Structure formats: structure tokens, C-alpha cells
Amino acid sequence: MATGFVATAAGTEVLWGVTGVGGAAASLYAVNPATGAVVGKSATGVDSLSGVAVHPTTGVMYATETQRGTGLFYRIDSQTGKATQIGTVGFAIAETAFQPTTGDLYAWAPLAKKLYKINLTTGTPTQLASSPSTVGPSAITFGTNGVLYMVRNNSLITVNSTTGALATGPLVIKLGAVDSDVDNLFATNAAGVLYCGRRSGKSAPTSLFTINAATAALTKVADVSGVAFSGMTFGTAAAPTAFRTPKKTVRVTGPVARIKGTVSSALFTTVSAPGARARTVQGRWTLNVKVKPGRRVLTLTCKDDMGQAAAPLKVVVIRG
């Protein structure tokens, strides 16, 4: 029977982002929203992802396809990044957002310039009665108050989530005193703060901003270096769990004890012992620990890049 770490926390909020601009292979990234630092990355196995959103009750992540006209609809395992097709929307989707109370998934179709609800079981879209007119890149998010917000190139509006009609606005988006614009990147964190993003054309970096819902004023947060997001959302990353294999006692004859194990985490993770550290994501780790003759009890620790720790593990090393 393997022994190992037990997670000590349920999870922490991260900004999830997907890539796939221009039909590229898509990856799932986890980002520290306060600093823009990438704290996790996994391959999804598909390309051209956008419209990523996390269900407010179940925590399940969904995403859509933006490049091809088929508009494939996926469920994404946030722990591994793997995308599993659910169905087909039938056309490209640029952005999605969950209504926080009902759990309905709304979607914005950039070519048709229309709002839809998406069936989570089949991917079948249902068009709302009307849609606000847009110019340039557009994205949607729900506030924690249930208000549906839309950024459309350089303006912010609210939308009637029942009819799809314009409710308020537009407000001109400004960074300082200068008119500004954003891409199809819009998300709301658990505290109700609205975030939006802007790429450098179709290239990295992705710049993150908060946007004031009352004034449309942007505040720069950070750049996500080296990454051009095609969609983003907030959600929870679970704390790491890891298991040393296969024994609690390791016997060696030389000065180095090699301890191997695995980590289960969506985020970059560090496993440590006195004088040794190992970095891994969703895989194996190996610690090479210098030991003196005799019996020694090592304390192994496990922490991800958001600071979430697993319970320490005691390992007995006997040299000689």
C-alpha cells in the first residue's frame, strides 16, 4: 500500500486561460491573477479553443472552438487539461459565460453577432430573441450580481439576459485618459471584480486589466508573458496530492537516498526534503537526498505555485 500526502485545502482561485489563436494547438494555463505569473500548464489535445467557462455549482470547465465553422463543444478536466468533446454548436463561438444563479451557459457568436444559450449535455444552441450590435472583438461575462456585461472592442455595455437586447451603455473604455480597447477576454472573479484582457494582435503577451463596471475605466494588473490567450475564466485549482512509492522506509548503502513518487496537481508543484527539491506537474518526482550512516527520519513537503500545501510526509532512511 502506497503512502503519501493528503491535501490540506480544498483549492484556491486562479485565472484559467486557453490558447489556440489562429488554429494553434490549445493548452490550458493557470495564472496567478495578482501577478500574471503562469502557475500551471497542460495540453488539451485539441486546437482553436476559446469561450472557456467554469460552472458556478459543479466546477466543471467547458470550452468552445472558435476557428472552424463546426464550433465543437468540450468539457475540460482542469486537473489534467484533457478536452473531451460533448457535441457541436454548429458555428464558431468567441466567448461564453455562466449565469451565476441559474447555471445557464451563454455564448457569443462573432460571425453571426448573436447571443445564444448552450445546452450543456448536447452543445445545442438556442438563440436569444435579439442581440446588441457590435464592432470588433466582443466578449461577455456575468457579474456576481447576475448582470450580463459585454465588452465590444472599445466600449462596455450591459445586456438583458432574457431577451439579448442592449440594457445600458455604451461606456467608452479608457486606460487613464486614453480610449482603449480589449480582446474577447472577459471574466469575473469570486469577489465580483471584472477582468478583461488584450493580446498584442494574435501574439503574446496577454495583458490583464480590471475594468470598472460603472465607468469602464481600465486598471492594468499584469502581463502574462509568453502567452496569447484566446479565452479566460476564473475557477478553483485543487490543492496538490502526492504519493511516495512504494514504502515508508528506504534502505541505501551509499551517501544518497533516491526517493521517487508522484504528484497530482493542476499547478506547478515542488516536493522538498532537506537539501533536495523536485519540480513536476501531473507526473513523477525524484528526490536525491544526501544521508549520513545510520537511521534518519526525513520530512517531505509538497507545495504548489499558489502556495497550497499538502500534509508533510515522514520517510525513514537507513544507510548501512
pLDDT tens digits for range 67-117: 666 789 999 999 999 999 999 999 989 899 999 999 999 999 988 889 999
Q: Between β-strands 294-304 and 309-319, what pairing exists: parallel, antiparallel or unpaired?
A: antiparallel
Residue 251 contacts residue 318 (beta carbons within 8 Å): yes
Angle at the Cα of 49 from the Cα atoms of 47 and 51, rounded to 5 degrees: 170
Average pLDDT in the chain: 90
Strand partners, 4: 243
Q: Which domains occur in the chain, in start order? A: 9-237 (2.120.10.30), 241-319 (2.60.40.10)
Rounded CA gap, 270 and 87, in Å?
37
Rounded CA gap, 184 and 234, in Å?
15
3-state SS class at 306: coil
Strand partners, 225: none
Torsion angle in degrees (nearest 10) through CA of 152, 154, 156, 160: -20
What pLDDT shows up at residue 68? 64
For the chain, give the longest Cα–Cα distance. Answer: 78
% of the chain beyond a pLDDT of 70: 93
* Beta carbons within 8 Å of 75's beta carbon, 6+ residues apart: 60, 61, 62, 83, 84, 86
Contacts 24+ apart (CB under 8 A), 149-157: 149/186, 149/194, 149/213, 150/108, 150/186, 151/182, 151/186, 151/196, 151/211, 153/181, 153/182, 154/179, 154/180, 154/181, 154/182, 155/216, 156/211, 156/213, 156/216, 157/132
Q: Which residue has the higher pLDDT, 155 or 132?
A: 155
Task: Record the pTM.
Answer: 0.92
229-266 per-position pLDDT tens digit: 999 999 999 998 766 666 789 999 999 999 988 888 99
Rounded CA gap, 287 and 256, in Å?
10
In this prediction, residues 138-166 reach a mean pLDDT of 94
Rounded CA gap, 120 and 304, in Å?
31
What pLDDT shows up at residue 20? 87
Q: Which three cell numbers stand for residue 153?
A: 472592442
Give the chain's radius of gyration (CA, Å).
23
